[in-house]
């Protein structure tokens, strides 16, 4: 007998795709009802209610759509009769949507995103397994207060930490440096740990014009210059190692900060925090002294989402610095 009420919100992704024999590509086509009906056993765990938000490849997901989706989720979470939410999504931008949703709500009810790497009609599809696992997690009392989770391949990851790591494999999700929060083992949901750096930013709007720039050896700063010229309201720079930049890129970054554009520094490394322990003209210390904001252990794409949300809440560099650096330094 189902005792929980779960709202399933579909947005598209491979989980809702089927092969088109003419184009020989996979395209968004499975409806939300088809998805839920493909796992009849869900009924043993939950009464589901379906909301079809979109049916797109997640490469088309924009910050504004993520924000609308977050608003919809908060509305559902506020309902007394709803116990949890499951969102289906493509894996390409799943980690960004999950993180924005996580930053924008503080409900203890489980919010779970899931996806698939093999299409709905693939003979070896991971659609039913992942959807079923996500519903189990959304129903699990042990997942209350854990924040927004991402469930795939029987692993439960924190929205803040998870990354897509493999272009094609079903074991694509990892939380580098941290590992999963827990697992789904048959009908059992186990949580081994929680992410203690979770934050709530009650923004009523966002600033989507934030650009992410990745550094490489010999970067001459021209992309940073272009980003400033094209009206970026914020920049995230995925720097080298501990948070260092080639000198010309560092000079261009400092120029950007002087024009009052908030610039957040992250690392292109998969694990660890940025910190200005290196001197020199492109060293993290000089950048921080000039006003760059440390992005902590966030990936570039996650720091961009955080800046997009934070700029909807505050605009002063000092306030942004507090939001980014309060827990970490
Ligand atoms: N292009 C797909 C997407 O919508 C990637 C694979 C997937 O959905 O998991 O993100």
| Spatial separation of the C-alpha atoms in residues 46 and 168, rounded to whole Å | 31
Q: Which of 35, 91, 164 to mutate to test the pocket of ligand 1 (most atoms within 8 A of CB)?
A: 91
Domain with CATH 3.40.50.40 in the chain: 210-325
| Distance from residue 96's CA to the centre of ligand 1 (Å) | 13
CATH 3.40.50.1170 matches 4-191: yes
Phi-psi region of 183 (alpha: psi -120 to 50; beta: other; left: phi over 0): beta
Q: Which two tokens stand for residue 26?
A: 């996979």
- Judge contact between 185 and 154, C-beta under 8 A: yes
Please provide the DSSP assignment of 92-128 as one string: SSHHHHHHHHHHT---SS-EEEE--SS-TT-TT--HH
- Judge contact between 206 and 67, C-beta under 8 A: yes
Query: Residues with catalytic annotation?
Result: 14
| Distance from residue 150's CA to the centre of ligand 1 (Å) | 14
What average pLDDT is seen over the chain? 96
Determine if ligand 1 sits within 6 Å of the CB of residue 117.
yes
| Spatial separation of the C-alpha atoms in residues 251 and 215, rounded to whole Å | 13
By alpha-carbon position, which residue is closest to atom 1 of ligand 1?
57
pLDDT (0 to 100) of residue 28: 86
| Spatial separation of the C-alpha atoms in residues 272 and 11, rounded to whole Å | 32
Q: In this model, does residue 117 exceed pLDDT 70?
A: yes
Q: Which two tokens stand for residue 37?
A: 């009906």
Phi, psi torsion values for 87, nearest 5 degrees: -120, 125
Q: Which helix (H) or strand (E) holds 9?
A: strand 4-12
Task: Tell me the pLDDT tens digit for each residue of 35-48.
Answer: 999 999 999 999 99
Mean pLDDT of 249-277: 97
Task: Tell me the pLDDT tens digit for each residue of 203-253.
Answer: 999 999 999 999 999 999 999 999 999 999 999 999 999 999 999 999 999
Q: Which two tokens stand for residue 299?
A: 């990936």
* CA nearest neighbour of 222 among 244, 243, 251: 251
- Judge contact between 142 and 189, C-beta under 8 A: yes
Which residues, in sequence order, are CB contacts of 205 under 8 Å at separation 6+? Answer: 67, 312
| Spatial separation of the C-alpha atoms in residues 18 and 78, rounded to whole Å | 34
Q: In this model, does residue 177 exceed pLDDT 90?
A: yes
Ligand 1 atom at shortest distance from the alpha carbon of 94: 10
CA 290 to chain centre: 29
| Distance from residue 115's CA to the centre of ligand 1 (Å) | 8
Determine if ligand 1 sits within 6 Å of the CB of residue 276.
no
How many C-alpha atoms does 306 have within 13 Å on its Cβ side?
A: 29
Determine if ligand 1 sits within 6 Å of the CB of residue 195.
no
Q: In this model, does residue 8 exceed pLDDT 70?
A: yes
β-strand 17-20 against 25-28: which pairing, if any? Answer: antiparallel
CATH number of 210-325: 3.40.50.40
| Spatial separation of the C-alpha atoms in residues 31 and 48, rounded to whole Å | 15
By alpha-carbon position, which residue is closest to atom 8 of ligand 1?
90
Mean pLDDT of 157-169: 98
Tell me the CA end-to-end span of the chain in Å, nearest whole number. Answer: 49
Domain with CATH 3.40.50.1170 in the chain: 4-191
| Distance from residue 29's CA to the centre of ligand 1 (Å) | 13
Determine if ligand 1 sits within 6 Å of the CB of residue 13.
yes
């Amino acid at each position: 007998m189902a005792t929980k009420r779960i709202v399933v919100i579909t947005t598209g992704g491979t989980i809702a795709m089927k092969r088109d024999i003419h184009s020989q590509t996979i395209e968004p086509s499975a409806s939300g009802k088809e998805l839920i009906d493909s796992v009849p056993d869900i009924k043993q765990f939950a009464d589901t209610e379906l909301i079809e938000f979109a049916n797109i490849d997640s490469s088309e997901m924009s910050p504004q759509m993520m924000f609308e989706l977050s608003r919809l989720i908060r509305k559902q979470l506020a309902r007394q009769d709803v116990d949890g939410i499951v969102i289906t999504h493509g894996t390409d931008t799943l980690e960004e949507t999950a993180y924005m949703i996580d930053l924008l709500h503080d409900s203890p009810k489980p919010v779970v995103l899931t996806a698939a790497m093999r299409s709905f009609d693939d003979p070896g599809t991971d659609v039913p397994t992942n959807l079923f696992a996500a519903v189990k997690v959304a129903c699990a009392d042990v997942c209350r207060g854990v924040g927004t989770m991402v469930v795939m391949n029987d692993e439960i990851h924190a929205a803040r930490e998870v990354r897509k790591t493999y272009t094609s494999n079903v074991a694509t999700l990892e939380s580098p440096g941290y590992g999963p929060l827990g697992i789904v083992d048959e009908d059992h949901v186990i949580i081994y740990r929680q992410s203690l750096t979770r934050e709530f930013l009650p923004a009523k709007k966002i600033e989507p014009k934030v650009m992410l720039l990745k550094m490489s050896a010999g970067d001459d700063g021209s992309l940073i210059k272009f980003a400033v010229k094209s009206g970026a309201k914020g920049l995230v720079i995925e720097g080298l190692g501990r948070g260092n930049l080639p000198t010309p890129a560092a000079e261009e970054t400092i120029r950007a900060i002087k024009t009052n554009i908030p610039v957040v520094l992250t690392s292109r490394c998969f694990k660890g925090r940025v910190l200005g322990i290196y001197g020199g003209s492109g060293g993290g210390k000089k950048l921080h002294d000039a006003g760059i904001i440390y992005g902590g252990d966030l990936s570039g794409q996650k720091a961009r989402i955080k800046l997009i949300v934070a700029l909807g809440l505050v605009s002063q560099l000092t306030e942004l610095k507090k939001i980014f650096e309060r827990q970490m330094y």
